[in-house]
Each structure stands twice: as structure tokens, then as C-alpha cells.
Amino acid sequence: KQEVTQIPAALSVPEGENLVLNCSFTDSAIYNLQWFRQDPGKGLTSLLLIQSSQREQTSGRLNASLDKSSGRSTLYIAASQPGDSATYLCAVKGGGFKTIFGAGTRLFVKA
Amino acid sequence: DAGITQSPRHKVTETGTPVTLRCHQTENHRYMYWYRQDPGHGLRLIHYSYGVKDTDKGEVSDGYSVSRSKTEDFLLTLESATSSQTSVYFCATGGLQEEAFFGQGTRLTVV
């Protein structure tokens, strides 16, 4: 059974800091991994999608990597801003349309 | 905006009453999903659809049914609402290797 773990559960950093969010999964038989952000009371916004054959994806200040063999993904946020404050979720899509979500990392960026 | 609209956005209903939540998408996606999000449990798949009239159960399907008579609409019905079904419900689209997009959610309270 696929399990997805996100560490840390919460993170508070000063504005401008570079930071890394971690996601680990137990079953490497995946189609893809996707990172989302969720603001309080809102839906999930897609940030980056990494297919199983890819190693990383970049969008602006965000970079996500995938190491399928070790069951790990990282989301790197450069030069963090207060507007980056949100909960970040990783989701792993495997067989049978089963997308398993991590519990999320709650990020607070202090101005 | 991924063209996904959920209605209603908020609903309070009494125990034992039937409730239907609607998800409407404008991007002609084949695959659609219903999730619920609860503190301590994260996001869990209720049902999904892989085409008109083609649906299947997710991990927490008991007490829920779905219907998809048109590509653009995916309905989630709680046959007889219970307090344990108080949750935030999200609709999503995205095939096996496609980026997943989420609606803004429906907050359902069963009293």
C-alpha cells in the first residue's frame, strides 16, 4: 500500500530564505508526482508535475526533483516571499487511479 | 483556473437527508474525481469516473454514489447524510499521466 510522507509538517522562515520541502513515498511504481499549494479555505493549485521518467521540473522560483528509486521528491523554493505562505501537498499517482496525498507541509514566511 | 466549478460552495443539511454535490468542467476532461479532505486524514478518493456512465469506487466510497451522464458533469450523492460525512469535498480532473486540477471545494456540514 502506497504511503506518502511529508517532512517537515510545519516550517517558519524569514523572507528571502531558500527552502526545501520533502516528500517520500513507499512504492516506486508511480505514473507521476505532483506538487500543490493550498491556501486556507481554498482548493488545491497545481505547482509542478513530474512524470515518472523525469528527474525534475522548474517553474519560476520553484524546482521539484524526483528520485523514483529512493522514493523521494523535493520542492525547492528560492527567495521565499510572504505570499508563499500556504500548505504544500505532494501527491503520487499510481496504478488503478489511486492518487495518494501526503499530509502537507504548512509554510509560513515572515516579512 | 482549470474550468472546474463546484456547487454549492457551502451547505448545511440535517442527518438522514439526501444531498447532491455538483462538479462541472469545461475542458472536456475524460477523468473526474471526488475527494474529501479531513483534518488528520488528508485527501481521500471517494469515487472517480473514466468516461460518461463509467465510474468506480475509491477508498472511502461507503455512503456515497456518483453519476456521470455528460462529460462535463460529475455528481456526488450522499444518500442519507451522516455527521461523519461533514467534510470539505473536492472535485478534480486529470488522467493517469495528466496534470490534476481541482475545484474550489464544497464545505458540507451535517447537523
* Over residues B40-64, mean pLDDT: 93
Residue B33 near chain A (CB below 8 Å): yes
The three cell numbers locating residue B55: 465510474
Q: Is B101 within 8 Å of chain A by CB?
A: yes
Q: What's the confidence (pLDDT) of residue A85?
A: 98
Cβ-based contacts of B101 with chain A (< 8 Å): 46
Q: Indicate if the pLDDT at residue B1 is higher than 80.
A: no
What is the count of residue pairs from A and B with beta carbons less than 8 Å apart?
50
* Per-residue tens of pLDDT for chain A, all 111 residues: 899 999 999 999 999 999 999 999 999 999 999 999 999 989 999 999 999 999 999 999 999 999 999 999 999 999 999 999 999 999 999 877 778 999 999 999 999
- CA B27-B73-A2 angle, to 5 degrees, is 80
* A88, amino acid identity: Y
How far is A62 from chain B, CA to nearest CA, in Å? 17
Q: Which residue has the cell 488528508?
A: B42
Average pLDDT for residues B19-34, to the nearest whole number? 96
pLDDT recorded at residue A98 = 78
Of B42, B45, B105, the CB nearest to A98: B45
* Residue B41: per-residue pLDDT: 86
Nearest to A41 by CA among A84, A87, A108, A81: A87
Residue A74 CB partners (closer than 8 Å, separation 6+): A20, A21, A22, A23, A64, A65
For residue B4, pLDDT over 90 is answered with: yes
Put simply, whether B28 touches A (Cβ < 8 Å) is no
C-alpha distance from B70 to closest chain A C-alpha (Å): 20
- Partners of B50 on chain A (C-beta within 8 Å) are 97
CB contacts, 8 Å: A25 with chain B: none
Per-residue pLDDT, B9? 97
| Chain A residues inside the 8 Å CB shell of B91 | none
Chain A residues whose CB is inside 8 A of the B104 CB are 42-43
pLDDT the model gives residue B5: 96
Please calculate the CA angle B90-B92-B97 and round it to the nearest 5 degrees.
Answer: 145
Taking a C-beta distance cutoff of 8 angstroms, is the pair A36, A92 a contact? Answer: no
